[in-house]
Amino acid sequence: MSHEKVPLREIYLLMQLARAWDLRFENLFRTGAVKKWYSSVGNEAVTTAAGLALEPGDALASLHRDVGAIFAHYLDLPALFPDLVPPRRVRRDSRGDPREHLYGLACQMMGKADGYTAGHDRSYHFGHIDEPHGILHVGMISHLGAMIPVAAGLALAMKLRGEGRAAINFIGDGGTSTGDFHEALNQAAVMRLPFVLVIENNHYAFSTPEREQYACRKLIDRAIGYGVAGESVDGGDPAAVWLTVRRALARARRGEGPTLIEANLVRLRGHSEGDDSMDVVPVEERERFIRGDPMGRFEAAAIAAGALRPEEVESIGSGIHQLLIEVTDRAREAAEPEPGTRPVFAVCAAASERARTAPKPLDPAPTRAMAPPAGATYIDAIARALREEMERDPMVILLGQDIAAYGGAFKATRGLLERFGPGRVMNTTLAESAAIGIASGAALLGYRPVVEMQFADFISCAFNQVVNVAAKMFYRWEAPVPLVIRCPSGGGAAAGPFHSQNPEAWFLHVPGLKVVAPSTPRDALGLLKAAIRDPNPVLFFEHKSLYRRLREELPAEEVLVPLGAARTAREGSDASVITYGWCVHHALAAAAKLEGEGISIEVIDLRTLCPLDEEAVLASVKKTGKALIVHEAPLTGGFGGELAARIADQAFESLDGPVRRLAFPDTPVPFHARLEAAAMPDAEKIAAALRDLVGY
């Protein structure tokens, strides 16, 4: 790539703009116009050059010190600086008035209604998926390292679409210690994804020096361990950065996999404005950092190379300063956000146009009807739902540990690799966070990933990706994330405390997620198909004890069960049991037993826990006057407490007895079958609780 002409003039203009932007907002922070500021002073040579190295349609995943890359990705430089950048260097489709982009970004920094997230998230926590104009940008969350799997997921989507695009992500030296850094880089290497990860190494993580962060000689040495290309570059030399990133992107597009780049920087600011983290930097090191300021170095280099005339320097600086004064003054006068501009539940109501029109993968499956087996088991229904949705929609892809040739831990995906190929059924490494993060990234580009957890218990390893990345994307910048996470859950198999949990309540507290727990093969089929078509992240809990325990005749025609609709599994008049999953069958057995005693029990199968069919629950309780809530998860903090509160609040006048709960005791699930059975809610325990409630 050394023959390429480095765009020195564009780099210089963007570096000046990025530096002036930071200085302007540092001043606004001191005057109270912005609440928090993370300066990128000193990082400009890396971020602007890397951003300019991208091509139309490449993806940028940025952090809080990457405004230079954001400017390079969003702004039409000839339109912004018509007298300074020749039109012949326009590299992208038209992307709108650059002054309006700067205004929108300034509003974003101030939390104004005209900001990219309309005040719903802060600073650089925004993104755009605007493929017609070549803008693919996924902003950060505050948990550093968390967006590396998501960026790798964007790269996976690009690889599947075969369009010769690539994704780039940035991470600080501190962030290289996170689990997501290691998980995602390893998974990207195994999948040979078109992915470039740039480490902005300023040698301090907040206040922690590099000697206390890692023991390797250089961070780039880690590339060897992951089997990816690695390059080290002077982060104060933007020409070198541009050439290095261009080489990495070229490797990515050729199918040669990821590249890890370590850009060594100077540190000219603390972690954030107003902290004293620079005080830990020794005086002599601070002086060396100041001497290495990339702005002065590159200005001299650009003049020496003839890309910049000395007499232009002052006018460029004053012009940019005046531009930013105008933009930020306008933003300061912009409207504050109004409540109610995002749905309270913060989920996407409909599929995005992007998801409907995204290019097909390289190996689409032929669409043809498949007759269901007679007397299908629950696992048969899961397998049928996956097969039918993959046939119907070539954007449906499967990821998970051992799901390809092996067919998954419970054989739900058996035969799908042979039918749909390795571009649609993909093994992942033993790294749940990477799997779900990569799936989220692919979902942003219109794919509909279904990720299998071998056991629901293991989703704790990916908690951040579920609750802070996937769940909040629509709330933050209205990005649909059509992702399903299949979670084999529950006890009854004497599998002990780490393979038997029912963790659904962990996620019911998180706005932006949907939670489903079917109890029958038919509902497993119809609800999974609906979940895959839903534009939001869905946690799909499949009780393992149901997999092969019962059979049900399934119709040959398509079965779809809407999310958020409960069913009355049994009519009754004396008391209502509200439950879901395996406990539905225990409740039905208890109701059958009590019928012989003259007690009429109604059983409500919730099917979907979020969104909750509150109307069905309240109607049943108002009809019978009594309610018993049953779930296998532990009592304290379980979903039953929420249900009891809603019933007491909205059906109090109809109650003629207390709202009771029956659940697993507040203990881990024991290993021995006898100990486990003693703790499980079952038909006998439910019948006893109902006798007591009806006789109250």
The alpha carbon of 585 is separated from its chain's Cα centroid by a whole number of angstroms, namely: 35
If phi over 0 gives left and psi between -120 and 50 gives alpha, with beta otherwise, what is residue 164?
A: left
Domain contains 208: yes
499 is catalytic: yes
What per-residue confidence (pLDDT) applies to 370?
Answer: 47
Identify the active-site residue in 137, 499, 543, 631. Answer: 499
Euclidean distance between CA atoms 497 and 456, whole angstroms: 12
Q: Domain with 200 in it: what CATH number?
A: 3.40.50.970
Do 165 and 301 fall within a single domain?
yes
Half-sphere CA count of 304, side-chain side, radius 13 A: 6
CA–CA gap between residue 607 and residue 566 (Å, rounded): 6
Strand order in the sheet with 601-605: 567-570, 601-605, 575-579, 627-634, 660-664
Distance CA 97, CA 80 (A): 8
Regarding whether 530 and 383 lie in a shared domain, the answer is yes
C-alpha distance across the termini of the chain, in Å: 82
Say if 354 falls within a structural domain. Answer: no
Of 525, 550, 551, whose CA–CA distance to 375 is shortest?
551
Return d(Cα 292, Cα 290) in angstroms, integer: 5
Task: Please name the residue that has the structure tokens 């309270």.
Answer: 344
Q: Residue 200's closest CA among 168, 175, 227? A: 175
Give me the long-range contacts of 677-680 (CB less than 8 A, separation at least 24).
680/491, 680/492, 680/632
The confidence score (pLDDT) of residue 84 equals 87
**How many Cβ atoms sit within 10 Å of the Cβ of residue 226?**
18
626 CB burial (10 A radius; 0-12, 13-18, 19+): buried
Q: Are residues 507 and 460 in the same domain?
A: yes
Q: Would you state the structure tokens that stand for residue 462, as one six-digit string?
A: 């990916």
Listed residue (191, 196, 180) closest to 59, CA to CA? 196
Q: How far apart are CA 258 and CA 185, in angstroms?
A: 8
Under DSSP, is residue 263 helix (H, G, I), strand (E, B) or coil? strand
Rounded Cα distance between 62 and 47, Å, is 9
Closest by alpha carbon to 238, among 24, 45, 15, 62?
Answer: 45
Q: Is residue 362 in some structural domain?
A: no
Same domain, 280 and 209: yes
pLDDT at 125: 93
Specify whether 586 is located in the same domain as 530: no
Q: Which helix (H) or strand (E) element contains residue 671?
A: none
Average pLDDT, 10 consecutive residues per value, the chain (696 residues): 77 96 94 90 95 94 94 91 71 70 95 93 91 86 94 97 95 93 96 97 88 91 95 96 97 97 92 84 88 92 94 94 96 92 66 44 41 78 98 97 96 96 96 97 97 96 97 93 97 92 96 97 98 97 95 94 97 98 97 97 98 97 98 97 97 96 95 93 97 92
Give the Cβ contact number of residue 291 at 10 Å. Answer: 10
Cis before 611? omega within 30 = yes
Dist CA 153 CA 318 (whole Å): 41
If you ran DSSP here, which 8-state letter would residue 603 be given? Answer: E
Pick the last residue of a domain from 332, 363, 388.
332
Sequence-ordered list of residues with C-beta below 8 angstroms from that of 282, at least 6 positions apart, any chain: none
- Which of 517, 552, 587 lies at the terminal end of a domain, its last residue? 552
**Residues 507 and 648 grouped into a single domain:** no
Q: 308 and 441, same structural domain?
A: no
Same-domain pairing of 532 and 596: no
**What are φ and ψ of residue 377, in 5° steps?**
-80, 170
In a domain, 294, yes or no: yes
Cα 300 from Cα 311, distance rounded (Å): 13
DSSP annotation of 219: G
Looking at the fold, whether 517 and 613 belong to one and the same domain comes out as: no
Nearest residue to 528 (alpha-carbon basis) of 503, 555, 563: 563
Who's near 304: CB < 8 A, 6+ residues apart? Answer: none
Give the length of the chain.
696
Regarding whether 221 and 136 lie in a shared domain, the answer is: yes
Locate all alpha helices (DSSP H) within 292-408, ordered by sequence. 294-304, 312-332, 353-357, 378-392
Whether residue 532 is found in the same domain as residue 609: no
C-alpha span between 282 and 280 (Å, rounded): 6
pTM: 0.93
| Residue 615: exposure state from Cβ atoms within 10 A (0-12, 13-18, ≥19) | exposed
Q: Which residue has the tokens 């902005």?
A: 200
Instruction: Give the residue among 656, 625, 663 at the shortest CA–CA distance from 642.
Output: 663
Would you call 635 exposed, middle or buried from its count of C-beta atoms within 10 A (0-12, 13-18, 19+)?
middle
**C-beta atoms surrounding 279 within 10 Å:** 9
- Write the single-letter amino acid at 218: K
CB 440 within 8 Å of CB 481: yes
CATH number, domain of 678, equals: 3.40.50.920
The interaxial angle of helices 432-444 and 147-161, nearest 10 deg, is: 60
Nearest residue to 669 (alpha-carbon basis) of 459, 496, 489, 487: 496
339 found inside a domain: no
The DSSP code sequence of 151-190 is HHHHHHHHHHHTS---EEEEEETGGGGSHHHHHHHHHHHH
Cα(306)–Cα(300) distance, integer angstroms: 10
SS3 state of residue 21: helix
**Contact, 634 vs 664, CB < 8 A?**
yes
Domain final residue pick, 300, 332, 364: 332
Q: Which two tokens stand for residue 65?
A: 């010190």
571, 511: one domain:
no
The whole-angstrom separation of Cα 196 and Cα 46 is: 13
- Whether 366 maps to a domain, the answer reads no
Q: In this predicted structure, what is the pLDDT of residue 660?
A: 97
Instruction: Confirm if 386 and 416 have CB atoms less than 8 A apart.
Output: yes
pLDDT given for residue 452 in this prediction: 98
Report how far residue 584's alpha carbon sits from residue 686's, in angstroms, rounded to the nearest whole number. 11
Which residue matches tokens 């998801």?
A: 355
The predicted structure's pLDDT at residue 368: 43
Residue 347 located in a structural domain: no
Asked if residue 484 is part of any domain, the answer here is: yes
Residue 138 β-bridge partners: 61
Cα gap 185→195, rounded to integer Å = 9
Q: At 171, give phi and psi (nearest 5°).
A: -150, 145
Q: How would you classify the pairing of strands 567-570 and 601-605?
A: antiparallel
Domain with 504, as residue range(s), is 373-552
Distance (Å, whole) CA 522 – CA 273: 57
Q: Give me the number of domains the chain comprises.
A: 3
